[in-house]
Amino acid sequence: MTLFGGGTILKIMKRVFIRDVSLSDFGKLKTSLIGIIQETFEKLNMDSDDVDGVFIGLMNPEGFTGVGNIASYITDKLGIYGKPAVRIETASSTGAAVFYSAYAAVKAGLYKNVLVIGAEKMTSLSTHEVTGLISQVIDPYERKTGLTMPALAAIVANRFRYESRIRPSKFQNLLAEVAIKNHFYGSKNPTAHFKKEINREKYFSSKYISEPLRLFDCSPVSDGAAAIVLSSEKGGVEIIGIGQGTDRQSLSKRETITSFDATIKAATQAYQMAGIAPESIDFAEIHDAFTPFEILGLLDTGLLKRSEIENFYLSKEGYHNGRLPVNISGGLKSRGHPLGASGLAQIAEAFKIMTDKYPPEITPEKKDVCLTQSVGGLATNNFVTILRLRGAVLKPAKKDTEEFFSKPPRFKSDSNLRVYSHTRLYSTAEGVESPLDLVICEHNYKKFFARYSDRDKPRIKSRVKITKKENGIVYVKQLRRFSIKG
> Interface with ligand COA by CB under 6 A: which residues?
92, 127, 131, 134, 149-150, 194, 209, 215-216, 218-221, 289, 337, 427
Chain CA centroid to CA 410, Å: 25
**Shortest spacing between CB 30 and ligand COA, in angstroms:** 15
**Shortest spacing between CB 427 and ligand COA, in angstroms:** 4
**What ranges make up the beta strands (E) of 101-185?**
113-120
**What ranges make up the beta strands (E) of 161-200?**
none
Distance separating alpha carbons of residues 145 and 143, to the nearest angstrom: 5
Distance separating alpha carbons of residues 375 and 126, to the nearest angstrom: 24
Output 178 or 209, the one with its CB closest to ligand COA. Answer: 209
DSSP β-bridge partners for residue 119: 225
Burial (0-12, 13-18, 19+ Cβ within 10 Å), 39: middle
**Shortest spacing between CB 91 and ligand COA, in angstroms:** 7
> Both ends of the chain: CA-CA distance in Å?
90
**Shortest spacing between CB 293 and ligand COA, in angstroms:** 8
Output 38 or 158, the one with its CB closest to ligand COA. Answer: 158
**Shortest spacing between CB 322 and ligand COA, in angstroms:** 23
Output 25 or 282, the one with its CB closest to ligand COA. Answer: 25
Q: Which of 122, 135, 62, 129 is nearest to 431 (CA)?
A: 129
Output 260 or 271, the one with its CB closest to ligand COA. Answer: 260
**Shortest spacing between CB 256 and ligand COA, in angstroms:** 19
Supply the DSSP symbol for 429. P
**Shortest spacing between CB 385 and ligand COA, in angstroms:** 18
Burial (0-12, 13-18, 19+ Cβ within 10 Å), 412: exposed
Output 106 or 286, the one with its CB closest to ligand COA. Answer: 286
Asked if residues 255 and 371 have their Cβ atoms less than 8 Å apart, the reply is no
Asked if residues 7 and 46 have their Cβ atoms less than 8 Å apart, the reply is no
Output 202 or 390, the one with its CB closest to ligand COA. Answer: 202
* Cis amide leading into 435 (omega within 30): yes
Residue whose CB is nearest to ligand COA in the complex, by number: 127
Number of residues that this document lists for the chain: 486
**Shortest spacing between CB 179 and ligand COA, in angstroms:** 8
Residue 328 in 3-state DSSP?
A: coil
Output 127 or 246, the one with its CB closest to ligand COA. Answer: 127
CB-facing half-sphere around the CA of 254: CA atoms within 13 A: 21
Output 207 or 412, the one with its CB closest to ligand COA. Answer: 207
Output 281 or 332, the one with its CB closest to ligand COA. Answer: 332
Residue 97 in 3-state DSSP?
A: helix
**Shortest spacing between CB 287 and ligand COA, in angstroms:** 8
Q: Which of 379, 309, 480, 395 is nearest to 155 (CA)?
A: 379
